[in-house]
Amino acid sequence: MVANEDTSKKQSAASLPSPPEDGLGSEAFKEILMDAAPDWVFFVDRCLGRRIIPEMLRSAGEIVRAHDEVFRQDTRDEKWLTEVGKNGWIVLTKDKNSF
């Protein structure tokens, strides 16, 4: 008789091991967390600029969408916030009026 194998490639958060007692984290634990992490998309609001912050995030290996790459510069906050939210992207902004 053949045992059922789990065919999922990523562990769910519920099946992740507890972090090491020392709080620093072992390399194996960090690798498991990275394998389980989703691909986040960071949306950089126009108030943070078009180049420096998006390029820094991209150079760190992150997926980034800058405001002006996706929307017209004069798009109202209500419009782009709704669309970005539908995509599940993480908004980076310093504009206190965006929320």
More confident residue, 95 or 6: 95
Looking up tokens 């498991």 gives 32
- Domain segments of the chain: what residues? 41-87
Q: What is the pLDDT of residues 33-50, one digit of tens each?
A: 566 556 889 999 999 988
More confident residue, 35 or 52: 52
Amino acid letter, residue 47: C
Indicate the helix (H) or strand (E) that contains 29: helix 27-36
Least confident interval from 5-19, 40-54, 58-72? 5-19
From CA 85, how far away is CA 43, in angstroms rounded?
10
Identify the three-state secondary structure at position 58: helix
pLDDT of the residue at 95: 74
What are the structure tokens assigned to 34, written together?
């990275």
In sequence order, the β-bridge partners of residue 91 are 43
